[in-house]
Structure 1
Amino acid sequence: MNENKQNLLKTLPQIDKLVKETSLRYQEISVLEIKQACQQALSSIRQEILSDQLTSVTVSDIFEKINTCLTTEPDYHLTSVINATGTILHTNLGRSLLSKKVRNHLNDVAYHYCNLEYDVNEGKRGSRYQHLTEIVKDLTGAEDVLVVNNNAAAIMLALRAIANDKEIIVSRGELVEIGGSFRIPEVIKLSGGTLVEVGTTNKTHLTDYKQAITENTGALLKVHTSNYRLIGFTEQPSLEEMASLAKQKQLPLVNDLGSGLFFDLQKFGLPYEPTIQEALSKGCDIVTFSGDKLLGGPQAGIIVGKREWIEKMRQDQLLRALRVDKLTLAALEATFMLYQNKEQAFANIPTLKMISKDLTICHEEASQLKKAIDDKTIGFRAQIVPSKSNIGGGSFPEEEMNSVAISLSSDNYSLIELEEKLRKGSIPIISRIYQNQLLLDCRTIDPSEHQLILNELITLQGANE
């Protein structure tokens, strides 16, 4: 480093002195915000000096930089991205998107006082869970409803309330790992129950359950293997058979259904999956599922089923630690209201809309994006190519949906470099590299995001001119 740079850096004021002087100028702003702005401003000035962008610095320059830092929108760590991967329920990218029709209800509840635990009709304290009870009962046919913060919490609370200090019978083929190393055996242990494994990995018979039942049995647990597939030489009893056995032995049948499917999706090329309504109609006493998977709502664990068992859960002290806030309840209620009309649900819930998006629509949207890239950028090549999308989020494992993607390449960047540049842009674009192509899958890209993608490419183009 040359002597001029060293001398210039030495002239920069100490952070404490700068914070004190800045606080006098911006008395309406907190000291913490001012300190962060001063640190950011000094860091920026140092970098400009070291890169020869600045050869002199005045007090006015420093305060101008601080003012810019204070008036610029905060650089939030949690930020929106463009999902161009083709994975609809991308766990790393926040899983399901909320419907835009949910927004108004969320805004109303978030920025005003609300009747969260107040019964307006009776003029006294109410329950936060009452807001979902009737609509979910109507949609599922369940006797009662309870909501906690995720499905792992839902199954743990259900088993704790129903079978604490008792045996819980599960097929060995259903001892799944939910994700993030959370496993069914550990969840059962935390619930206070004792795991009793029956059958084998690939075959479990009704007699296996029957022979395992003792006077200390608390429940039969069915775990839908929505995040993996067993194929080949396999067998398992039907829900009806398990429900009949549970009823005969006066035991509850608990079904961890996971994905939260309300509508049959076979018409979109996906295999059969049981719906919430089917599981209840076939005799399950309790069914749990996620809010942010196929349902297309916020993260939540939803418990539906027999009133007597859900009432036990309501009385459990653990419920307070697992309860959801007003924003989750508002988002769930608005999402469930869309389910009252099937066409409305598929048109307005992004998860269902992306699953049901016709291949022709995917191709039309890809054509629009390609034309924009061809017309308005230089040095980028866009080709329309066939692609494969998947559901993700532990739903429909191994199943792929035909899709259409833009294969993007550049005169100035390798595929690896281009992927990184897009990912680190002002609005991160998360793409995927497959078979030596960088793909932007149009099943998960909303047309409203085309201009944002174009802006990022134009920015990259400008960096090379």
Structure 2
Amino acid sequence: MSDLYREIPQVAKLLEDASIKSFLSRFYISEIKEVIDETLADLRTKIKNNELKEIKYEEVVRLIVEKLNKKQIYSLRKVINGTGTIIHTNLGRSLLSEAAIKHVIEVCANYNNLEYNLVKGERGSRYEHVEGMMARLVGSEACLVVNNNAAAVLLSVSAFAKNKEVVVSRGELVEIGGSFRIPEIIETSGAILREVGTTNRTHLSDYEKATNDNTAIYLKVHPSNYHIIGFTNNVTNDEIVSLEKKMNKERVKPIITIEDLGSGCLIDLSSSGYKENLVSESIKSGIDLVTFSGDKLLGGPQAGIIVGKKNLIDQLKKHPLLRAFRVDKMTIAALEGTIRDYFDEEKAKRTIPTLKMIYLSESELRERALMLYERIKCIEGISSEVIRVYSTIGGGSLPHSQLVSYGVVIKISNYPAHEIERVLRNQEVPIIGRIVNDKFLLDVRTLLDSDIDIIINTLDRIGRSLWKTS
């Protein structure tokens, strides 16, 4: 037993081995040493458990090289999204447009005027860079950007309803993902939740009956991630605004209306076959503050955007929580680069990836699927077929949406669908698809042009390895 321990190569010797040393161009020496230490620790465990009869230096080197080949420089990596879910919460949500990426690089690679007013030559505000553009787009008096929509809601409720009541319909007490729930956000803000109505039916009279001297906010929450049909009734924005005006006639401290729109749709999607509430419509109805996400239907970076009355947003800018929710230069640059394209809606549909994917026609998708199929069928050991499938928008947006699309089924002899999924997920560039009726497929709606060659090269490599072992 002790002889085997003595045969374990020394770390210093392994670090000088040419095969291992070649990885210094990719990894720091400390990272290589960590892999060596892990490998040697595994050997000691196997010796202890009587699982090894001999140790060969060449085999130890091979194990280390194998691990280094699998090791990635970064944990956060590019993946190929073949799931058909456009705003995939687990895969980074919306892709940035080329204009947004270019602006982020330019701003972050150089010093910039993040908080410097170039006209006055004095300290400026980071929020000014997007405030004017966003306010013009949606027709609001002012705008404020924080780091996500949950923060936008929390900041708004904290500022205007601490120790006071927030009236919300029971049908709008949603969970927005990751166990973040509207009731908990309200509780965290220091406000008191006042539930009204029922899950499926809430009337204006419910809000009116719940109103008292301690009422501070009427909160409307757009149920972005679910849809109730059947025997339902919701209070419209026009109705809640009219009630607000009625109640405020005799109040010293006015009630304000806030709507959490969630997805943040800036353009009419009806030409794509779907209808989503527009931010501009909420502002036009008279809602005081509207909050929404930057990385959902807007197609930009993660951010929480608050638009509405200037006097209220000015108060939010002075709130202590804003410092904790502050956005950085990368977010501001990405958002600025994204929203500029919205001044030309047709251009936005072509340049903002989220919108572009939504608006892909059935014929375009079928043509793309057939092109991928033709290239796959030339690979030995791999076969495929094209089938009609449905994509989803995702990200808690338009939960009832099903977009007609096409999927390319990938088949490998004697490999069940779940095994194909595992193999492709563990490639150098992970390929993520979905399984439908025991078939693994790639929905072409969410594939980028640059993904195609990677998919083909990966499948070709897998096919050749199968041919060698058969």
Scaled by the length of structure 2, the TM-score of the pair is: 0.88
In the alignment, the residues of structure 2 paired with residue 92 and residue 349 of structure 1 have an alpha-carbon distance, to the nearest angstrom, of: 20
Q: CA deviation at 1:354?
A: 0.4
Counterpart for residue 252 of structure 2:
none
What amino acid does structure 2 have at the position aligned with 1:253? T
Q: CA deviation at 1:12?
A: 1.3
1:332 maps onto 2:335 in alignment: yes
Please give the secondary structure, in 2, of the residue aligned with 1:406: strand
Counterpart for residue 171 of structure 1:
169
State whether residues 11 and 37 of structure 2, in contact with CA within 8 Å, keep that contact through their aligned partners in structure 1.
Answer: no
Residue from 351, 375, 397 that aligns with 1:395 = 397
Per-residue CA deviations over 1:144-173 (Å, capped at 9, x if unaligned) read: 111111100000101111222211111111
State whether residues 41 and 65 of structure 1, in contact with CA within 8 Å, keep that contact through their aligned partners in structure 2.
Answer: no
Per-residue CA deviations over 1:241-296 (Å, capped at 9, x if unaligned) read: 111111222321100000010112122122x2210000000111000000010000
Runs of 4+ in 1 over 3 A off after TM superposition: 41-48, 54-59, 71-74
Question: Aligned ranges for residues 50-449 of structure 1 at < 5 Å?
Answer: 55-56=56-57, 75-250=73-248, 251-270=255-274, 272-375=275-378, 377-449=379-451
Instruction: Count matched residues.
Output: 447
Please give the secondary structure, in 1, of the residue aligned with 2:240: helix
In the alignment, the residues of structure 1 paired with residue 354 and residue 413 of structure 2 have an alpha-carbon distance, to the nearest angstrom, of: 35
What amino acid does structure 2 have at the position aligned with 1:336? I
Q: CA deviation at 1:412?
A: 4.4
Please give the secondary structure, in 1, of the residue aligned with 2:365: helix
Counterpart for residue 13 of structure 1:
10
Of all paired residues, the percent bearing the same amino acid is 44
In the alignment, the residues of structure 2 paired with residue 195 and residue 44 of structure 1 have an alpha-carbon distance, to the nearest angstrom, of: 55
Structure 1, unpaired ranges of 5+? none
State whether residues 365 and 447 of structure 1, in contact with CA within 8 Å, keep that contact through their aligned partners in structure 2.
Answer: no
CA distance 1:154–1:43, change in 2 (3 Å): same
In the alignment, the residues of structure 2 paired with residue 221 and residue 164 of structure 1 have an alpha-carbon distance, to the nearest angstrom, of: 14
In the alignment, the residues of structure 1 paired with residue 32 and residue 120 of structure 2 have an alpha-carbon distance, to the nearest angstrom, of: 51
State whether residues 268 and 356 of structure 1, in contact with CA within 8 Å, keep that contact through their aligned partners in structure 2.
Answer: yes
What amino acid does structure 2 have at the position aligned with 1:317? P
Q: CA deviation at 1:399?
A: 1.9
Q: CA deviation at 1:438?
A: 1.1
Scaled by the length of structure 1, the TM-score of the pair is: 0.89
Q: CA deviation at 1:379?
A: 1.1
CA distance 1:43–1:173, change in 2 (3 Å): closer
What amino acid does structure 2 have at the position aligned with 1:269? G
State whether residues 168 and 193 of structure 2, in contact with CA within 8 Å, keep that contact through their aligned partners in structure 1.
Answer: yes
**RMSD of aligned C-alpha atoms?**
3.1
Please give the secondary structure, in 1, of the residue aligned with 2:388: strand
Q: CA deviation at 1:448?
A: 1.9
Please give the secondary structure, in 2, of the residue aligned with 1:220: strand
Of stretches 295-304 and 114-123 in structure 1, the one that deviates more from structure 2 is 114-123
State whether residues 18 and 38 of structure 1, in contact with CA within 8 Å, keep that contact through their aligned partners in structure 2.
Answer: no
State whether residues 372 and 454 of structure 1, in contact with CA within 8 Å, keep that contact through their aligned partners in structure 2.
Answer: yes
State whether residues 373 and 384 of structure 2, in contact with CA within 8 Å, keep that contact through their aligned partners in structure 1.
Answer: yes
Please give the secondary structure, in 1, of the residue aligned with 2:145: strand
State whether residues 11 and 36 of structure 2, in contact with CA within 8 Å, keep that contact through their aligned partners in structure 1.
Answer: no
Counterpart for residue 36 of structure 1:
31
CA distance 1:419–1:266, change in 2 (3 Å): same
CA distance 1:431–1:57, change in 2 (3 Å): closer
CA distance 1:413–1:188, change in 2 (3 Å): same
Please give the secondary structure, in 1, of the residue aligned with 2:402: strand
In the alignment, the residues of structure 2 paired with residue 58 and residue 446 of structure 1 have an alpha-carbon distance, to the nearest angstrom, of: 41
Q: CA deviation at 1:213?
A: 0.9
In the alignment, the residues of structure 2 paired with residue 58 and residue 441 of structure 1 have an alpha-carbon distance, to the nearest angstrom, of: 42
Q: CA deviation at 1:81?
A: 0.6
Q: CA deviation at 1:358?
A: 0.3
Structure 2, unpaired ranges of 5+? 47-51, 249-254
CA distance 1:44–1:308, change in 2 (3 Å): same
Please give the secondary structure, in 2, of the residue aligned with 1:170: strand
What amino acid does structure 1 have at the position aligned with 2:453? Q
What amino acid does structure 1 have at the position aligned with 2:87? L
Q: CA deviation at 1:34?
A: 2.2
Of stretches 411-420 and 121-130 in structure 1, the one that deviates more from structure 2 is 411-420
What amino acid does structure 2 have at the position aligned with 1:390? T
In the alignment, the residues of structure 2 paired with residue 364 and residue 72 of structure 1 have an alpha-carbon distance, to the nearest angstrom, of: 35
CA distance 1:137–1:350, change in 2 (3 Å): same
